[in-house]
Structure 1
Amino acid sequence: MFENPWKTLRKKSIYQNPWIHLEEHDVLTPAGKEGIYGKLHFKNKAMAIVPVDEEGNTWLVGQYRYALDEYSWEIPMGGGPIGLDLLESAKRELKEETGLTAAKWTEVLRIHTSNSVTDEEGFVYLAQDLTQGETEFEETEVLQIKKLPFSEVVEMVMRGEITDSISIAGILKVARILGL
């Protein structure tokens, strides 16, 4: 396949908490010059869910995103510990954030969220045959839930009202799958 043109000389742990680990790497660049590279490792896999009911509706989750310092509308999503079944984590997230359970699950997308500085990997699922139940928000979550026609959510993406990368990719992929 392709050979890595970068050479790692040394790695140094800069910071870590239960969710992330930041490293600084001393490297030789592809041009053979010494340099540094920062790498952010996530301790969870990202997973997102596009729930679609029989009438063609979906659900968005709105919340204030601390790192962005702004409000964000997104598909339901969260993190699943590496090594645990991703689908089970996705089912948990959908229930927590929307109260929904689904009888049919389809993995539709694998995505790297920002491959220049992080190794974060995300997965998007299409959830169908939905049953509504009660939400189970985490203590750090203050969420708004919107049920909208899926076609309207696609238009929100096209107007730039949804900016989260996993949400955009998941919504557009599901739109293509469903022929919308």
Structure 2
Amino acid sequence: MAQKHGPWTIQETSQKYENSFINVREDQVLQPDGKPGMYTTVKMKAGVAILPIDSEGTVYLTRQFRYALGKESIEVVCGALEENEPALDAAKREVQEELGITADEWIELGFFDLDTSIVHCPVYLFLAKQLTFQEAHQEGTETIEKLQIPLNAALQKVMDNAITHGPSCVLILKAGNTLSSGD
């Protein structure tokens, strides 16, 4: 049965691939111009991105090998939400697992959509303050190096393309804007 989807009409849907993190779907559609077509979408688990910052203005980032890129990447702490897990709980879990950090103050900086054309994956952004450091508990797939740099240096790395990971770029820029405006 045909289903309206904004100006599109979905005539048929087929699941092309699915695992615990990703779902690839192919829809046979009527395009907004009325012509038949196909649209493929990817749905990923929602995610969190966390930028811990201490009272001196030092931020704590990760450097890790990223399989898909085939090279190391400098990033904020990121991770996926478990089913029915609140975003803040996931943020607290991820920053403790990856860097061994807990925080007494959490500032929500909104969310963004990873890619609005074919990917559905909201990423919730957090600034973590009033930090305490403990032992990290990284997953077996992670080889994470903790980097400590001033926020201004992180902002410059975004502008110089030394940090290219999308959620990291957005969060670092939002954090810089939020902290410079005194919010």
TM-score (norm 1): 0.95
Offset, 1:70: 2.2
In the other structure, the counterpart of 1:57 is 58
* Distance in structure 2 (CA, Å) of the matches to 1:94 and 1:175: 19
In the other structure, the counterpart of 1:106 is 107
In the other structure, the counterpart of 2:95 is 94
Q: For 1:119, what is the secondary structure of its paired residue?
A: strand
* Distance in structure 1 (CA, Å) of the matches to 2:31 and 2:161: 36
Deviates more, 1:75-84 or 1:24-33: 75-84
Deviations 1:29-73 (A, max 9, x none): 11111010111111x211010111000000110111112222210
In the other structure, the counterpart of 2:77 is 76
Percentage of pairs with the same residue: 33
- The letter for the 2-side match of 1:16 is E
Deviations 1:65-117 (A, max 9, x none): 11222221000111112421111110010001111100001110210001111
Q: For 1:136, what is the secondary structure of its paired residue?
A: coil
- The letter for the 2-side match of 1:4 is G
| Residue 34 (structure 1) aligned with residue 51 (structure 2) | no
Q: Residue 77 of structure 1 contacts residue 93 of structure 1 at CA under 8 Å; is this kept in 2?
A: yes
Q: Residue 109 of structure 1 contacts residue 173 of structure 1 at CA under 8 Å; is this kept in 2?
A: no
* Distance in structure 2 (CA, Å) of the matches to 1:34 and 1:115: 21
Q: Which runs of 4+ in 1 moved over 3 A?
A: none
Question: How many matched pairs?
Answer: 177
In the other structure, the counterpart of 1:175 is 176
* Distance in structure 1 (CA, Å) of the matches to 2:171 and 2:110: 7
- The letter for the 2-side match of 1:152 is A
In the other structure, the counterpart of 2:14 is 12
Q: For 1:172, what is the secondary structure of its paired residue?
A: helix
* Distance in structure 1 (CA, Å) of the matches to 2:125 and 2:56: 21
TM-score (norm 2): 0.94
* Distance in structure 2 (CA, Å) of the matches to 1:49 and 1:95: 11
* Distance in structure 1 (CA, Å) of the matches to 2:55 and 2:48: 23
Deviates more, 1:62-71 or 1:149-158: 62-71
* Distance in structure 2 (CA, Å) of the matches to 1:12 and 1:143: 37
Q: For 1:137, what is the secondary structure of its paired residue?
A: coil
Q: Residue 109 of structure 1 contacts residue 170 of structure 1 at CA under 8 Å; is this kept in 2?
A: no
Offset, 1:118: 1.0
- The letter for the 2-side match of 1:70 is K
Q: Residue 20 of structure 1 contacts residue 41 of structure 1 at CA under 8 Å; is this kept in 2?
A: yes
The gaps in structure 2 that reach 5 residues or longer are none
The gaps in structure 1 that reach 5 residues or longer are none
